[in-house]
Structure 1
Amino acid sequence: MSTDEKDIVNKLSPRKMILPVALGLAVAAFLLYLNLTDTRFEEVTGSQCGEYGWVDANEDGVVNSGDEEEFVKVENCAGQYRLRTYQDTLGDIDWTWTSTMWILMALLGMVVRDVAYMYRIRVLTDDELSWKQSFRVIMLWEFASALTPSVVGGSGIAMFILNREKINLGKSTAIVLVSALLDELFYITMVAIVLIAIGTSNLFPINLQKTIFGTTYGTQGLFWIGYGFICLLTTAIMIGVFFIPRTLKYLLLQIFRLPILRRWRYNVIQIGDDIITTSKELKGKPVIYWVKAFGATYVSWTARYLVVNFLILAFVSHESKIISGFMEHLLIYARQLVMWVIMLISPTPGSSGVAEFAFSGFFKEFIPLGLVGALALLWRLISYYPYLFIGAIILPRWLRATSKASADVKKKTA
């Protein structure tokens, strides 16, 4: 095993699971603790007693259900709102077959997501990988992503995984780069769609804004900076890959000759080489190739994002006014697109800790009082932790199997 291979295998060590698991569980526990003191004013339905009336204290025209200053107590149940605590919510939970169905739908969403990814990797490799190999590649790829910060990425590890499955290095490079491009194209187009559908007025939770030294930094600013950067980078790479690969590499090298950027010049040389290699690999691909790959990308990401909708539906009763229709579900979906940018810049492995906090901030208003911590944990149990444990199980056997296959090939060619 080469030094580079040893370094990659070390990065995939199951021991590295300890930090993300500990961070995630610690934040989930903290959120559960905070839920113990949560209160919320809910609009009454039917024969329920409304002990509070709403007054627009801050004159924003929005009912802030968690702000006690916006509600006044009234007599004879003449109000439209009642005060709820987490104990009230727990007492109201009525687990039904419908609740079970939505939990199963959330699990099915993750299965669909992975199957769509497996289908895409088969398309991108021109069916060189079997379904079994595709399963191993995707699980190990997700395992690597779960163990590394999103800002770092796992492209090098992904190329190593594909190369061990007998996909030549040039094609492995092309597959990893195209996979990233397809993911970014989904994000760019889907954000445009939801912005047209629902606008931006309710897209950015105000409770995530922070004031530092007199300047307010919020999710909206971070989102637009991140979205603009993704659009710019994706456009540049697409032009480079499909039209002017060598010119783009030359331009990048000239830019990174600047003293302030020179430290990253070696990395840019590698990126330029990857773009040229990818361009050669993708020449002559038919339209159906791209239709299948992009279609699988849309199915995969949509299934992944719908998991949150399904989990919330499992705990929200039909009588509740927390979620009243399609637009609320579209808003939940849209907020995940915003949250993805926040998770993308997280310095923690697999966004552990950051993801749970972000979940609370983005979706608290849609979740029954006192349950946001529990749902954040359940969401990660379904969408994150399985990849850690499946990857840890598969990795040792996969390394032995692919190492033996490589050794057999060397013997035959000797």
Structure 2
Amino acid sequence: MDLKKWRKWLVASILISMGSLTIIFAFSSTKKAIPLILSIPLWFFLIIILVHFLHWLFWAVRIKIMAHALGENISIMWAFRIVMVNLFMASVTPSSIGGEPSRIYLLSQGNLSSGDATALILSERLLDFIFFAVSLPLFILLLGISINLEDIAMELFVAIGLFLLGGSALIYIIYNASKIKSKIKKLEKLLKFFIKGEDRRERLIHKVEKEFDTFVKSVIMIFKRKKVHFIAAMSATAIMWFADFTIPSLILLAMGYPPFWLLSITFQMIILLITIIPISPGGSGLAEFSAYFLYSQKLQPDITGALVILWRVLTFYLNLFGGMICTVHYISKGK
């Protein structure tokens, strides 16, 4: 894993995010925003960081549970390191797409095969798909309100489309595994342009087929045969997301304003969906402006500006720099 090749993405991610926050700050009344931020006690910041740490921790717990369902026992520390490296890679790639390959790579460095590692990570995405597909409509029904989404309607439409497409594609692959596998053989014709030796091509095709079989069996095992593990992993999924989604409400409490928990969690779900759109590294720009638009429906501009700035610092930047430290440590140790 070479950190240098990600340097441009890292710089782009930070610049886009900081530029977005600067614009938001300029639109806010700085007379109130700066005193609001400075008035928050240090111990309240520590509580918010601890809550965000719970998001990291329960993500690691989820990975450990799912690995155990596949018959592999990985330590919580190793799972936590995987999460942190993933957060850095996700923060510097469009749609956070760099997170999945990094988790697969790190899991396959242990006892898991490539097929098992891929199954585990894609099963994580299915758990997230189930969580958001159930939670977001439910929260909107519970609130009994209509949120003004006019200014972000296009972004939300595209995000939901990509979200449904990704989830449906995963489900299709699992239920049509035999059809997918039958087409793997056809890749040999394409490989002729890249790999000259017939024996090498056949070995590669055989390996791909073997790992695909492992992948399908592992996903079925997690979702159908290991029901206790599935329930435990689903519970960890709910805890990790709800922990992170409460942070804006905690920031509002710290500034002395009503937290409106349910509405804020709904806003967070919408923002996360929008950042799926592959426009900027780590969803930078999309997250900031979407958050400002949504929260400004309930808050004054100066309060909204302070909230969005603190929220991004205590989530995105914490992910970015915490993940970078773990990534550098991993590379320096050579493992």
Residue 230 to residue 31, structure 1, CA distance change in 2 (3 Å):
closer
For the Cα contact (< 8 Å) 2:95–2:279, is it kept in 1? yes
- The question of whether the paired residues in 1 share the 8 Å contact of 2:36 and 2:255 is answered with no
Query: CA offsets, 1:30-80, max 9 Å, x none?
Result: 2212224xxxxxxxxxxxxxxxxxxxxxxxxxxxxxxxxxxxxxxxxxxxx
One of 148, 170, 185 as aligned partner of 2:130: 185
More helix by share: 2
Deviates most, 121-130 or 222-231 = 222-231
- The structure-2 alpha-carbon separation of the partners of 1:92 and 1:289, relative to structure 1 and needing over 3 Å to count, comes to closer
Alignment match, 2:15: 22
Q: How many residues align?
A: 309
Selected match of 1:234 from 158, 161, 167: 167
1:253, 1:342 → 2: CA distance?
37
Give distance in 2, aligned partners of 1:220 and 1:16: 27
- Aligned partners of 2:3, 2:248: CA distance in 1, in Å? 33
**Residues 20, 273 of structure 1: CA spacing in aligned structure 2 closer, same or farther, 3 A cutoff?**
farther
| TM-superposed deviation, 1:106 | 2.3
| Superposition pairs of residues 268-347 of structure 1, within 5 angstroms | 276-284=213-221, 285-317=225-257, 323=258, 328-347=260-279
Question: Which residue of structure 2 lines up, in the alignment, with residue 157 of structure 1?
Answer: 102
The question of 1:223 aligning with 2:156 is answered: yes
For structure 2, the 5+ residue unaligned runs are 187-206
Aligned partner (choices 169, 173, 183) of residue 118 of structure 2: 173
Instruction: State the identity as a percent.
Output: 20
TM-score of the two chains, using structure 2 as the length reference: 0.79
SS at match of 2:283: coil
- How far 1:279 sits from its partner (Å)? 1.4
Q: Report deviation, 1:402.
A: 4.6
The structural deviation recorded for 1:312 is 1.9
Bigger Rg, which one: 1
Which residue is equivalent to 1:353?
A: 285
| Correspondence for 1:247 among 165, 175, 179 | 179
Give the Cα–Cα distance (whole angstroms) in 1 for the partners of residues 166 and 284 of structure 2.
26
Separation in structure 2 between the aligned mates of residue 374 and residue 139 of structure 1, nearest angstrom = 27
8 A contact 2:251–2:311 mirrored in 1 = yes
Aligned residue among 315, 324, 330 for 1:383 = 315
The normalised TM-score by structure 1 is 0.65
Range that drifts further, 331-340 or 101-110: 101-110
RMSD (Å), alpha carbons: 3.3
Deviation sequence 1:208-237 (CA, Å, 0-9, x none): x2xxxxxxxxx3354345335533542442
Q: Over residues 184-213 of structure 1, what are the superposed CA-to-partner deviations in whole Å (9 max), with x where a residue is unaligned?
A: 1111111121122124512x344xx2xxxx
Secondary structure of the residue aligned to 2:297 is: helix
Secondary structure at 1:344's aligned position in 2? coil
Give the structure 2 partner of residue 130 of structure 1.
75
